[in-house]
Amino acid sequence: MNPAEFDRWYATAYPRLVGQLTLILGDRAEAQDALQEAFVRFWDRRAALTDVASRDAWIRTTAHRYAVSRWRRLARGRELTRLLPEQRVPDELSLDRAH
């Protein structure tokens, strides 16, 4: 697949795939981000995926996996943040006395 073929395929596949992923993920912006990442990853594997149906399926699966992985990382980050001890910010009086 050369760059011109990729551009044509992208132009026709992207709107359909973003719609499908929005329904799956429930968030259009998240679907768009995941699809962009999947298309970037596809470019390195484009020689192996010549059938249009398999390309669409690969992109959809890769984008979904990327979104799930991202969601898990964010959830884990929130969980770890909750486990941190609460940091106390000194009040202005204690800062004035330090000078």
In the chain the domains, ranked by start, together with CATH numbers, are 3-83 (1.10.1740)
pLDDT band at 53 (very low <50, low <70, confident <90, very high): confident
pLDDT in tens, 62-78: 888 888 887 777 767 66
* Mean of pLDDT values over 4-25: 88
- Whether pLDDT at 31 is above 80: yes
* Mean of pLDDT values over 21-44: 88
d(CA 98, CA 18): 56
pLDDT band at 87 (very low <50, low <70, confident <90, very high): low
Task: Show Cβ contacts of residue 62 under 8 Å, excluding neighbours closer than 6 positions.
Answer: 37, 38, 41, 42
Total Cβ atoms within 10 A of residue 43:
10
| Distances 93 to 89, 90, 99 between C-alpha atoms, Å | 12, 8, 10
pTM of the model: 0.64
- Whether pLDDT at 55 is above 70: yes
